């Protein structure tokens, strides 16, 4: 078995796809995300393999190689959905999922021999992930939570809550009000606040309000 120039080129593409995948995966690994080095490297490599096969594996046949690219992009949607979670109104995993999808694109670009595009894309993805991550001070990160407050019925009680949220710079939206009987009501509120706000202290402050019986996540 002998290797010609095209074979060596393909192997180089595979190795380069792994390197780019590792580069992108490093940022996710550094932030303790589940999809780190290995996942991104394998995504990039597998996308590169499938692209190479689609281009060179069916020479002489009448086919549309772009269908494989479309299949890779669609398949990444299923894989990316597995890392997205919703908890207490907060969505996590979107950055990782989008990074995985972009990594597949990098692998495809390398498989096609578009090295400048692949390398530039890897650098841009890394730049975005590092500069605009959750710990960055370049953008204001806000947390969304759904909470329920049980309190004595009366317009006064709700007005005081709204005044407190306004003073603390907390955006809020009352989503539901339920009459519990015995002069009690349950107010469901979706709040949005800066990531640096201490949630425990926030709950403690709300519970200290007059007429408030309890506050909890929903």
Q: Which domains does the chain have, with CATH numbers?
A: 5-131 (no CATH), 142-217 (3.30.70.260)
The DSSP element (H or E) to which 176 belongs, if any, is strand 171-181
The DSSP code sequence of 50-87 is HHHHHHHTTTTS---THHHHHHHHHHHHHHHHTT-EEE
* pTM of the shown model: 0.60
What pLDDT, in 10s, does the model give residues 68-100?
778 887 888 787 777 777 765 566 777 888 888
* Mean pLDDT of the residues in the chain: 81
Of 43, 25, 12, 181, residue with least CA distance to 113:
12
- State how far the alpha carbon of 117 is from the alpha carbons of 27, 43, 44, in Å: 20, 17, 14
Alpha carbons within 13 A on the beta-carbon side of 107: 32
**Does the pLDDT of residue 16 top 90, yes or no?**
yes
The reported pLDDT for the residue numbered 134 is 60
The DSSP element (H or E) to which 149 belongs, if any, is strand 142-152
What pLDDT, in 10s, does the model give residues 126-184?
888 777 766 655 555 677 788 899 988 776 777 888 888 888 888 888 888 888 888 88
Distance of alpha carbon 49 from alpha carbon 54, whole angstroms: 9
């Amino acid at each position: 078995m002998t290797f010609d120039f095209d074979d060596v080129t393909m192997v180089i593409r595979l190795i380069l796809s792994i390197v780019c995948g590792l580069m992108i995966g490093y940022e996710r690994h550094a932030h303790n995300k589940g999809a780190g080095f290995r996942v991104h490297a394998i995504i990039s490599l597998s996308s590169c393999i499938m692209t190479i096969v689609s281009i060179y594996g069916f020479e002489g046949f009448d086919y549309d190689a772009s269908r494989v690219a479309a299949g890779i992009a669609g398949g990444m949607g299923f894989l990316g959905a597995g890392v997205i979670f919703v908890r207490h109104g907060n969505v996590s995993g979107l950055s990782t999922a989008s990074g995985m999808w972009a990594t597949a694109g990098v692998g495809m670009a390398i498989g096609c021999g578009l090295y400048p595009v692949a390398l530039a894309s890897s650098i841009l993805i890394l730049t975005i992930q590092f500069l605009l991550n959750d710990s960055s001070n370049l953008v204001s990160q806000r947390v969304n939570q759904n909470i329920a407050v049980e309190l004595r019925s009366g317009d006064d009680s709700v007005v005081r809550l709204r005044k407190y949220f306004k003073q603390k710079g907390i955006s809020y939206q009352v989503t539901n009000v339920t009459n519990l009987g015995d002069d009690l009501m349950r107010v469901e509120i979706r709040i949005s606040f800066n990531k640096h706000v201490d949630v425990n202290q926030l709950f403690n402050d709300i519970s200290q309000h007059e007429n408030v019986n309890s506050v909890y996540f929903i």
